[in-house]
Amino acid sequence: MLESLPLELLCDMFTSLDIGSILNLRHVSRRLREAAGAVPAYVFATEHGLDAVLALFWSGLGPHFTLHDLDNALRTENCAVPRCDRFGHFVFLPTLKRVCFGCLGHQREFSFLLLGRVDIAESHSSEKSGLVHVMHTLPGFYSEDKTAYHKQRHHIVAGLDSVKPRDPDQGHYGWPCRFRYLAAIALPFLECSGSQVRSHHTVFCNRCSG
C-alpha cells in the first residue's frame, strides 16, 4: 500500500515520522528505502549524526522524536541552557537538547532518576507528563580515559520537574555528574548555506574545554 504512493508523499511522511518507525520501515521494501534516502533531513542525520540516530533507536527513545526533531538538533549550534553561549557539543538524548560539557555535568535539567525510584502513576498525571521519557542506557565507555566501562543497562527517567519520586523523602536528585554521560552523545553542528553543508566537530576543543 505505502509503496504505491508518489515519492513526494512518501518523503513528506518520513519527515513527520518518529525515528523508530523510519528505521523499521526502511526494511519493508526497496521503494521505502529509496524514499527515505530522498529526504534531505534523513540523509543529513545518517551522514552526520548516525551515532545519535542509533542511540535513540536502541535506547528506546526513537518513538518520542521525529526526523524533524533530530534535524533541528543538528542545525542548532549552542547549548540550550539560558545565558550559556557555548557550543553544544553534546545532545541530551531524553530531551534531544543541545548541551555543552560544563552544563551537562552541573545543570539540574540534565539529571535523571532510575525508573525504580519514579512513581509512574503520579508522573503521568502531571501536566508536564509529555516530558517523561524512559531511556534504556547502552553499554560502553563513558569517561575520557576509557577506563570506566558500563556493562549493565539501566532504565532512567529524565525531566525532574515532571516526575514524582516513589519515596517523597528522597526528593528530586540524580546520579553523580559523571553518570550523566550515559544519557548524552556527541553531535556535530550542521551549517547549511545554500547547497553547501559544513559539519563542525572540533569546535568543542576551542570553545568548551575551558
Say which residue, 142 or 184, is predicted with more confidence.
Answer: 184
- In this prediction, what percent of the chain has a pLDDT beyond 70? 68
For residues 184 and 161, give the distance between their C-alpha atoms in angstroms, rounded to a whole number. 19
Q: How confident is the model at residue 92 (pLDDT cuts 50, 70, 90)?
A: very high
The pLDDT, as a whole number, for residue 78 is 92
77-101: average pLDDT: 91
* Domain boundary assignment for the chain: 2-207
pLDDT: which is higher, 173 or 29: 29
- For 156-205, write each residue's pLDDT tens digit: 777 555 555 445 444 444 455 556 778 889 999 988 765 555 556 544 33
pTM of the complete model: 0.77
- What is the model's pLDDT at position 209? 39
